[in-house]
Structure 1
Amino acid sequence: MDRDSFRPGPLAEVARVPAGDRWDLVFVRDLRHPPEKVWAALTEPDQLAQWAPFLTSRDLGTTGDATLSTLDGDRHFDAPATVLRAERPTLLEYTWGDDLLRWELAPADSGTRLTLRHRIDKADVAAMTAAGWHLCLDVADHLLDGDPVGPIRGADALNFGWAELRTAYAERLDS
């Protein structure tokens, strides 16, 4: 796909649920690929570099410490990470700074049902977080299809419908 013609796909299933004094954004998406292929996209540094909002210092498929470097243009911000659980190809859980990400992969008729639970500090950042993951996972889906568009990160996301996605997810999460 030509990057300039990239447009976000339909909204994902989302929910915002209390998690103690924090919140979990629950983001559910169906992908047309088997769990093993999706697992590789979630864990392998070369694949993550093509779609995720960060670069990783190592393969995330095993437990232990890592560094996740968020990119925004020429700037990058390193955050400590710890892979807490890596149960190939069904469950990946790691910290990213103060956040906790839990990726659940379940076989589905058409491929994989991916459920991301992203623990956030404030309820009002759920729509922004959902919009960011929406774009990232659209890009990952193209990558898995063998039709990479390149990562869409940071301020660049504004050029690909992030603001509209944030508004749509805010409406969905507040209803």
Structure 2
Amino acid sequence: MTQAQAVTETRSVIVEREIPHPPAKIWRALTQPHLIAEWLMKNDFQPVVGRSFKLSADWGSVDCEVKTVEAEKTLSYTWAAYGLESVVTWTLTPTGTGTRLRMEQEGFRTDQEQAYQGAKHGWQQFFAQLEQVLVRAD
């Protein structure tokens, strides 16, 4: 394998959950800044393709740009922090009892093991917090 190949090889973190809420309710939690702040981070998000936004936490911030907005179906944005250049894609699929919510964060290089492991752990926590927000939100 050449060095160029090693650099371009990337991994993804995928979390998929069946959530007992309709897509419209989950979509609001993914796209409304005050709700995003409750489960993810403080932000200035707007669901507008091409719009840059920032996610902020006590450990630092993430620079993002909206890539895809398909209401109640798909949302994706870039996620750049501490040398990580990745894309987060949310997919909502209606089911008989609610919604299958899938999140994929792609773009972890093989030399970014700490970021990869951190994301694997972090997204589990974010999902748990998201589910709490959905229980409370109307």
TMscore range, shorter length:
0.7 to 0.9
Q: CA deviation at 1:58?
A: 2.8
- Secondary structure of the residue that 1:63 maps to in structure 2? coil
Preserved contact between residue 23 and residue 120 of structure 1 (Cα < 8 Å): yes
| % same residue | 24
Q: Counterpart amino acid of 1:76? A: G
Structural RMSD (CA): 1.8
Q: CA deviation at 1:105?
A: 0.3
Structure 1: tracts of 5 or more residues without a match:
1-19, 148-175
TM-score by length of 2: 0.79
CA gap 1:57/1:145 in 2 versus in 1, 3 angstroms: same
Q: Which residue of 1 aligns with 2:43?
A: 56
Corresponding residue number in structure 2 for 1:15: none
1:117 paired residue among 90, 101, 104: 104
1:96-116 Cα shifts (integer Å, max 9, x gaps): 111100100000122110111
Aligned residues: 123
2:128 alignment counterpart: 138
Aligned counterpart, 2:94: 107
Q: Distance in 2 between matches of 1:21 and 1:70?
A: 28
TM-score of the aligned structures, taking structure 1 as reference length: 0.64
Write 1 or 2 for the structure with the bigger share of strand. 2
2:50–2:67 contact (8 Å) kept in structure 1: yes
Distance apart, 1:24 and its partner CA: 1.5
2:54 aligned partner: 68
